[in-house]
Amino acid sequence: MNDHFAAYSFVDRITELVPGQRARGVFHVPAGLPPLSSCLVAEAVGQLAAWVSMAHIDFRGRPVAALANETILGHAVPAGSRLDLAVEIDDCDDDAVAYKGWADVNGERVITLNDCLGPMLPVAEFDSPEAMRARFELITGQGAAPDRFRGVAAPRMDVHEGEPAKWKNATLYVPDSAPFFADHFPRRAVFPATLLLDSEIRVALSLADEISAQRGGPSLVPSRMTHVKVRAFMSPGDVLDIAAEASTAGDGTDRIMLTTRANGKNVATARLELSVKE
């Protein structure tokens, strides 16, 4: 199977479209796979916004490395589920797209993205504009064949001991090759920011378990991520250093500050809020 529009594509069909303003779409999570993580659900919403914005400027540009001011996290999506996607475009031109969006499963909200900004870069640097136009015609028409997605293997990551319930570090190894690079992107392989965020959350969960154990209380789970900023592209073979540091806000909310560095330089930051597992 060709991995383009399969290995890291999460919009099967656009079911409603008001050009440049809003869209609704669907993605079927194939049976037999692990649950789709919140970060991949966020990727699906972002991809729907990307299709709307690219079509609006006639595929001259595409949003890459979006910034998200607030993401309200729900649960992972079980295999076999239908993901109902929605985006509202606040502004879109050749420079950037501003949007918000959400995803539901069986009427239950599983993620909400607020105040997102995607800088536009030339489509031709990353993919064939002609291939993107053809794909857009397909997914706004009969829709793509479902179940092309075969899952994404988590990149290798070594989590290091830190100060229990205070901080923890990890080393993430971006693979030299992986099927998702054929989709992200064919002309310039870029490690997806959502896979980085997924890895960061894994480190944060390890720290959250220590916080819960130290207090002797209930488990803590990620509930809200804010101030997500990706400052640089991450390439195949990169070695990334992730730092997670716990703190408590004035209102008592547990937070974990996440910072990722490559070659000593900050490439991404985010703030993760925790809540008691229900």
Question: Is residue 22 predicted with pLDDT exceeding 60?
Answer: yes
Q: What is the CA radius of gyration of the chain?
A: 18
Query: CA-CA distance, 19 to 37, in Å (whole number)?
Result: 29
Structure confidence by residue, pLDDT tens digits, 191-227: 999 999 999 999 999 999 999 999 888 899 999 999 9
pLDDT, mean of residues 230-247:
95
Answer positive or negative: Cα dihedral of 153, 157, 161, 162.
Answer: negative
Question: Is residue 243 predicted with pLDDT exceeding 60?
Answer: yes
Question: Is residue 277 predicted with pLDDT exceeding 90?
Answer: no
What's the pLDDT score for residue 1? 56
Structure confidence by residue, pLDDT tens digits, 53-67: 999 999 999 998 778
- pLDDT higher for 217 or 8? 8
pLDDT band at 101, cuts 50/70/90? Answer: very high
pLDDT, mean of residues 108-126:
96
Delineate the domains of the chain, giving CATH numbers in brackets: 13-139 (3.10.129.10), 157-276 (3.10.129.10)
Cβ-contact 222, 274 below 8 angstroms: yes
Instruction: Specify the length of the chain in residues.
Output: 278
Query: CA-CA distance, 186 to 259, in Å (whole number)?
Result: 28
pLDDT, mean of residues 113-126:
95
Q: pLDDT averaged over the chain? A: 94
Beta bridge partners of residue 77, listed in sequence order: 36
Q: How many CA atoms lie within 13 A of 163 on its CB side?
A: 5
What's the pLDDT score for residue 13? 98
Query: CA-CA distance, 31 to 65, in Å (whole number)?
Result: 29
Structure confidence by residue, pLDDT tens digits, 147-176: 999 999 999 999 998 999 999 999 999 999
| Per-residue b or e along 63-94, where b marks 16 or more CB atoms closer than 10 Å to that residue's CB | bbbbbbeebbbbebbeeebebbbbbebeebee
What's the pLDDT score for residue 278? 72
Beta-sheet pairing, 13-18 with 67-73? unpaired
Find the Cα–Cα–Cα–Cα dihedral 79, 30, 63, 88, rounded to 10°: -60
Q: C-alpha 93: how far from its chain's center?
A: 22
DSSP secondary structure letter of residue 95: S
pTM score = 0.96
